[in-house]
Amino acid sequence: MSIESLFLSPVYLPMLGAALILVTKHFFTDRQRRAVEYLSALIAFIIPLIAFIFLIKPVLAHHQVHMILGTWETTLGIHYHFDGLSFLLITINLLISIPVWLYSRKTGPHQETFTIIFLIQSASIAATSLTADLFNLFVCLEVMGVTSYVLVASSEKNKAILSSFTYLIFSATAMVFFLIGTFGLYRISGSLAYDTIAQAKNMLSGSDLLVARLSLVLIVVSVLLRTAVIPLSGWLVGAHSNAPHAVSALLSGVLIKIPLFALVRLLLLVTGTELLGSILAWAGGISTLLGILLALREHHAKRLLAYSSVSQIGYIVTAYGLALASGIETEEGALLLALSLLYAFSHALAKATLFMTVGRACDAVGSKDLHVARGALSALRAQGERFPITGIAYLVAFLSISALPPTIGFWGKNTLVYLSKGHGSTYFLSITSVLTIVVYLKLSGIFLPKKAQEVQKVEPSSTALTSLSLIFLTILLLAGGLWYTDLQTFVVQVLSPLGATNATLTSYSALQDLLKTGFTTTIALLFFIIGSKTRVERRFEARRESTASFPNLFFGFALMVAVMAWWLLFPGEAL
Amino acid sequence: MVIERILIFLLALIGFTAIVGAKNIIKKVFGLNILNAAVVLLYILEGSRIGDQAPILGKGVTNMVDPVPQALMLTAIVIGVCVTALALALAVRLYKATGSLEIDTINERLRSEH
C-alpha cells in the first residue's frame, strides 16, 4: 500500500462512513441501522488508527510527502503535506474521537445525524492538519466550523441553539476576514500554496510588505478566534457549556487546537515573525490568568470547565508564540513547539475526561450548580455503576490538569513553564498553576458525599461503553505520565524536520519541580480552605450568567487586530 | 478601480454594521451575506485587472481575466449558502423556542432556562 493512501485514510474513510449511514438511513430497520453506525465508526476511526501505526516508521525516518490532489499542475492544484506535525495532530484527534464517540452512545445525542456530522468533522480535522494551501485551509476550517455549530445545536436545550447561533455568526464573520487576508497574500504572490506565498513574501519590501503583513495579521487573528484566546473567547463559554457532554469533550479537547497548529506550517515559512510570536506569547499568558479567574467566579460546572479551557489554551499559545519568537531552527524553539503540542495532547485527554465524568456526575445528581450538586458517587452507584470508574477517571484527570504527578499533565505543564522562563508571561503561568488547583478543588465538590443521604430510585442501566471510554482515557493519562520522557523524545524527533534536530531538554530537574508542585499545592489548599470556610469566594461569584453580546465579541476582535498592528508598525523591535 | 474599491468597502461596512448592530437575528444573517458578497466582489475585481474576457477558452479569446479568483469565489459562495441556511434554521428554532427574533428578548427569555 502506498504511503499516500495510508495518510489520506483519516480524510477519506470518515467521509465514506458518513455516506454509508446516509445511504442506508431509509432502507434498513432500526437494528440494522445501529449496526451500520458501529460499522462506519469502525471504518472511520479504527482503520486510520491502524494505518497510522504503520506510518510511525516512515515518520520517524523523517519521510515527508508533498502531494497535489488530482492531476493538476503545481500552480493550480491543492497541496497536501504529510509530515510529523500532521501525523501527531491526526493521532490526537483519533485518540480523543474514539472514546468520545463511544461515550456518546449512552449519553446522547441519539440522533443518527450525530454520527454523520461527527465523522465529517473528523475528516475535516484531518484535512486541516494535512493541507498546505491557504484557500483549502479556509474550506477545511469552514467545514470544521459548520459541523461544530450543528453538534452544539444537537443538544435538547434551547440555550444551546442561541450559543450555536452566536458562535456561527461570530466565526463566520471572522472567516470573511480570513478570506480578505488570503486575498492580500494571493495578490502579492499569485499563488495559494504556503511555500510560494512564503517565498514571495520573504522577498518583499516597502508597502507590499505592509500589505502582506496586514493580510497575515487578519489570518492569524481569525485562527486565534477559533482557538479562543482572550479577548476572542466570548463565544466559547456558551457553546462548550451548553453542548451535549460528548460534544463539549471533543470541542474543548481537540477542535480549538487544530487550527492553531495547522497555521504553524505557514508561519514557519514566513520570515520576520519573531515579534508576532512574542505578541502571541503575551496574549497566551494573559489568557491563562483571565481564564482561570473567570472560572473561579463560576458555580455552574460546565461553564467552569469551559473557562478553564480558555485558561489552558493560553499555556499552549504561550509556548507556541515563544517557539515562533525564538525561531524554530534554534533548539529552544523546536523544543517549545514540541512541548506546546504535547501540552495540547495532555490537555485534550484531561479536558475530554473531565467533561465526560463531570457531565455524567451532574446528570446523575440532576444539577450543574456547584452549591447544590453533591453525592455524585452514590448517585452513580444507584444507576448501576458497580465500580466507581467515573470517580477514578475524574481523579486522574483532576491530577493531570492541576499538574500533579504521576500524570502526563504534571510533566507537560512543568517542562513547558520551565522552558518559557525568562519571558514576562511566565509569571502569569505560575499564578495560574495555583488557581487551577483551587478551581478544580471547588469542582470536586460534586463527588463529595451528601449530608442527608437519600438515594433516588433510578432504573439501573448498562454503562459498559461509557466505562470503556473512560478507562481508555484514564490509561492514556497515566501512561503518558509514566513514559513522558520517551513521549517527548518521540515528538521532538518527529517534528525535527520542521526546524532544529536533536533538541533535548537539558538541565531540567524533575525533583525540583516536584518540590515546587508540593509548594503550589499547599498554597492552593490554603486558598481553597480559607475561601470555602469564610465564604469569601461567594462574594465574587458571577451573579447572573453572562451571555456574549455581539458588540463585545467584535470589540475583542478589533482589540486583537489593533494589538497585532504593533507588529505592522514596529516589526523589528523586540517586546 | 478606485471608485469600485470604495463601493466594495462601503458594502462591507454595511454588512458588518448589520452583524454587530442589528437587534434582529435575521438581519444579522443578511449582514453576513452582504459582507460575504463584498469579499466576492473584491476577488472578482482583482482577477479582472489583467484582462476583460470571461475565462472560457475558445476561438478568439486572448485577453482572459484570472480564472483562479473566480474558482475560489464559487467555493466561497457555496460555503456562504451553507452557513446562511444553517443560521436561518437556527433562527427558526430560536423563534419557536422563545417567540421572538430580537436578540435581547431571546437572551432574556432563555436566561431563566437551566
Whether A158 sits inside 8 A of B75 (CB atoms) is no
Whether B20 sits inside 8 A of A550 (CB atoms) is yes
CB A317 within 8 A of CB A560: no
Nearest chain B residue to A138 by CA distance is B76
* Distance in Å, alpha carbon of A553 to nearest chain B alpha carbon: 9
Per-residue pLDDT, A478:
92
pLDDT band of A395, cuts 50, 70, 90: very high
- The DSSP element (H or E) to which A213 belongs, if any, is helix A207-227
Task: Establish if B30 touches chain A: CB-CB under 8 angstroms.
Answer: no
Model pTM? 0.92
Residue-level pLDDT, tens digit, chain B, 114 residues: 789 999 999 999 999 999 998 899 999 999 999 999 999 999 998 888 887 788 787 777 778 888 888 889 999 999 999 999 999 999 999 999 988 898 888 888 888 765
**Across the interface, which of A165, A186, A544 has its CB nearest the CB of B87?**
A165
Place of cell 508564540: A321
* Distance in Å, alpha carbon of B110 to nearest chain A alpha carbon: 6
The 8-class DSSP code of residue A109 comes to: -
- For residue A573, the SS3 value is coil
- pLDDT tens across A46-57, in order? 999 999 998 888
The overall average pLDDT reported for chain A is 86
pLDDT at A113 over 90: no
Distance CA A414, CA A508 (A): 10
Instruction: Enumerate the H helices of A327-407 as residue ranges.
Output: 331-365, 376-382, 389-401
Per-residue pLDDT, A397:
93
- pLDDT tens across A301-344, in order? 999 999 999 999 999 999 999 998 888 888 888 888 999 999 99
Contacts of A244 (CB under 8 A, 6+ apart): A104, A107, A108, A109, A151, A154, A155
Task: Establish if B81 touches chain A: CB-CB under 8 angstroms.
Answer: no
Per-residue pLDDT, A2:
78
CB neighbour class for A422 (10 Å; exposed up to 12, middle 13-18, buried from 19): exposed
Per-residue pLDDT, A458:
60
At residue A192, φ and ψ (nearest 5 deg) are -115, -10
Q: With a CB-CB cutoff of 8 Å, which residues 38-67 of chain B face chain A?
A: 39, 42-43, 46
* Distance in Å, alpha carbon of A363 to nearest chain B alpha carbon: 13
Per-residue pLDDT, A451:
67
Per-residue pLDDT, B64:
83
Cis peptide before A10 (omega within 30 of 0): no
Distance CA A479, CA A476 (A): 5
**Across the interface, which of A159, A187, A551 has its CB nearest the CB of B110?**
A159
Whether A554 sits inside 8 A of B107 (CB atoms) is no
- pLDDT tens across A140-198, in order? 999 999 999 999 999 888 889 999 999 999 999 999 999 999 999 888 888 888 888 88
Place of cell 516536584: A514
Nearest chain A residue to B68 by CA distance is A76
pLDDT at A501 over 70: no
Per-residue pLDDT, A572:
60
Distance CA A54, CA A62 (A): 14
Nearest chain A residue to B105 by CA distance is A162
Closest CA to A82 of A138, A14, A9, A18: A9
- The DSSP element (H or E) to which A521 belongs, if any, is helix A510-534
Whether B42 sits inside 8 A of A187 (CB atoms) is no
Whether B46 sits inside 8 A of A183 (CB atoms) is yes
Quick one: chain A helix, strand, coil %, rounded to 5?
Answer: 75, 0, 25
* Distance in Å, alpha carbon of A331 to nearest chain B alpha carbon: 39
Distance CA A217, CA A574 (A): 17
Q: Greater confidence, B34 or A545?
A: B34
The ipTM, to two decimals, is 0.94
Distance CA A229, CA A571 (A): 22
Cell digits for A79? 497541496
Q: How many residues does chain A have?
A: 575
- For residue A193, the SS3 value is strand
Q: What percent of chain A has pLDDT over 90?
A: 35
Whether B35 sits inside 8 A of A159 (CB atoms) is no
Q: What percent of chain A has pLDDT over 70?
A: 94
pLDDT at A573 over 60: no
Mean pLDDT, range A233-239, rounded to an integer: 87
Instruction: Provide, as residue numbers in chain B, all residues whose Cβ is less than 8 Å from the Cβ of A168.
Output: 83, 86-87, 90
Mean pLDDT, range A398-415, rounded to an integer: 88
Strand partners, B64: B53
Distance CA B31, CA B49 (A): 28
Mutation for testing the A interface, residue in B104, B110, B112 having most A CBs under 10 Å? B110
**Across the interface, which of A146, A153, A179 has its CB nearest the CB of B83?**
A146
Mutation for testing the B interface, residue in A133, A138, A179, A367 having most B CBs under 10 Å? A179
Distance CA B40, CA B38 (A): 5
